[in-house]
Chains A and B, each alone.
Chain A
Amino acid sequence: MQPAYSVIFLTTATGAGYGMLALLGVLRATGNLPDDRAFGLFALGLALALISAGLLASMAHLGRPERAWRALSQWRSSWLSREGVLAIIGYGPAVVFAFGWLVLQKNEGLWPLAGLATAVLSIATVYATSMIYRSLAAIPRWDQPLVAPVYMILALATGAIWLNAVLVPFVAGHALIQAICFATLALAWVLKIGYWRAIDSTVGTSTTASATGLEGLGPVPPQVRPLDPPHVQDNYLLKEMGFTIARKHAHKLRRLTHLLAFIVPLVLIVIQAATSGPVSVLAAALAAISVSFGVVLERWLFFAEAQHKVMLYYGADRV
């Protein structure tokens, strides 16, 4: 699949934003965050800015963005529609949560519920995003059980690391958040390695013979090879679904993803936890920057390594 930059930015930014928002909601509801208005403004502002920027970027990907409101109507069947509906509903409790924190400075009675509701809707939105890909059987490398867990845990991990970066200047050494950063990122790493193993070992179920209805010719399925192409220039299908990445490049980029998304941030979180003062602040900020570039790369590969079954008509022999 052709990596769509607006979609890569969308999922990376909203992932980090929703992860951060979910953690803010849960941690404040359970009394694990400082009441500090400046911190709250900064953290909530960053989370909501990441989410809003991501959602706006997704509109850039549309052919007719002025009709985007129509995408809210088909939540019964479409994960894309569900994502849009959940994203918009999510602003409701988030605004109430922010009002209770930043304006009223309250965290008792019903106010924590707004934080918990924000967290639930945030994770649900990331789940809906992941299911857009997971539900496409025409792209077997997306139709994988680990796709949704990787999206959700990576959202929590990037959100935790950004939250940590914002928190360190206010509270030096928040052990719970450091532990969450480390645990979620380590879990995301394990799941991502599992995903890569799964797609590397999965054998496609469709062949050019089954795609052309010629499977039944002969005692075993015949070999079917493209001879006359239907067109001499790339069409929409080849431009959108025909992107292929050389295996050696994919391996190089996977190694870089291991480094930027997982190894470097994990090491930096440990350094941040072990130090104090400017070194700690710098380590936390660098971890956030590294994990963000790493996840952009991870998303780029998610597209670049995905093969679409339509390529069976254009030279792929098994997808």
Chain B
Amino acid sequence: MTSLPTTPSPKRLGLVIDLDTCVGCHACAVSCKEWNTGGNYAPLTDLNPYGKDVDGVWLNRVHGFEVETADDNTGAYGTNGGRTVYFPRSCLHCEDAPCVTVCPTGASFKRVEDGIVLVNEDKCIGCKLCSWACPYGAREFDTDGGVMKKCTLCIDRIYNENLEEVDRQPACVNACPSKARHFGDFNDPTSKVSQLTADRGGVELMPEMGLKPTNRYLPPRPSAQVGDGADLVDAPVGANSAGGPDGPDTGFLGWIDRVLSR
């Protein structure tokens, strides 16, 4: 049924993605591709994988952005310098998922029990309307199979009793080397995802669309100003340094001194 569930889901499973610690290594995207090209929703088609014009379905894409904040006092740009933010993009499993309601066949649906948005590939006619309806670009069309593909939140892992319990989470979460991805139930206030969202001010993407996405993104922590060295120094320069009061406090040696003194 492509009407959305009328009762609230008892569980609201989703991801928290930490934009502060994501290093843009694409391990989540690659492990997603690896699991899902062999899992229940296989294959994730690759067209021309070794040719000049490679193309294929990925359910997770990692974008790199240059972010320039405005000056706290003047509100003008150009003084704070830029920073790089890596941004993994995948299905957010919205509560008011427009990709579900536009589906003419019932292939696109939202599970009542945990809120996961899925495509039943046996019912999909490949009209692509769901991908048009999603502002986040979460769905990619498989031209080979003629059906739509999307993130399943690794539904064939998280409930899979053949896997060790520690592995019963999405492949992207397992793969992340900087622990920037977390999986859990947002309806449980004690879950890690709920607590991270509360502690770090997790945000939803395009809140102006009102789609109530489940996944939350943790904004990058404030960065040190370029050149102030604040991220390296705990104590005033010179005090407690290995070189003593007369030790080097400038240049490369000063930097080594400060790092060793932490």
Which residues from chain A sit less than 8 Å from chain B, CB to CB?
Answer: 1, 61-65, 67-68, 70-74, 76-81, 84, 132, 135-139, 205-206, 208, 210-220, 222-231, 233-237, 240-241, 308-310, 313
**What total of chain B residues lie within 8 Å of the partner, measured CB to CB?**
76
> Within residues 86 to 120 of chain B, which ones have a CB less than 8 A from any CB in chain A?
86-87, 89, 98, 100-107
- Bound form: Cα–Cα A78–B146 in Å: 20
Judge whether A217 and B67 touch: CB under 8 Å: yes
* B206-A80 in contact (CB<8A): no
Q: In the complex the two chains form, what is the Cα distance from A206 to B148 in whole Å?
A: 25
Query: How many whole Å from A215's CB to the nearest CB in chain B?
Result: 8
Of B61, B85, B131, which is within 8 A of A231 by CB? B61
**Which applies to chain B's interface (DSSP): helix, strand, loop or mixed?**
loop
Contact A64 B132, CB 8 Å, known A210-B208, A222-B67, A313-B137: no
A223 touches B135 (CB 8 A): no
| Interface residue? B248 (CB, 8 A) | no
CB distance from B17 to the nearest CB of A (A): 9
Return the contact of B98 from the options A61, A137, A212, A214 (Cβ within 8 A): A137
Is residue B75 contacting chain A, with contact meaning CB distance below 8 A?
Answer: yes
Check B217 against A213 for contact (C-beta < 8 Å): yes
B2 touches A136 (CB 8 A): no
In the complex, A216→B200 CA distance in Å? 12
Q: Closest CB-CB distance, B33 to chain A, in whole Å?
A: 12
Complex CA–CA separation, A216 to B204 (angstroms) = 11
Cβ contacts under 8 Å, B65 to chain A: 208, 212, 214, 224-227
28 contacts between A and B (CB under 8 A): A65-B125, A67-B123, A67-B124, A68-B125, A74-B104, A78-B103, A80-B102, A137-B209, A205-B208, A206-B209, A211-B136, A212-B217, A214-B220, A215-B203, A217-B67, A218-B80, A219-B70, A219-B71, A219-B72, A220-B70, A223-B77, A226-B64, A230-B89, A236-B57, A241-B137, A308-B135, A310-B134, A310-B137
Report chain B residues within 8 Å CB of A78: 2, 101-104, 129
Asked if B127 is at the interface (CB within 8 A of a chain A CB), the reply is: yes
For the complex formed, measure the closest distance between the CB of B64 and the CB atoms of chain A, giving whole angstroms. 3
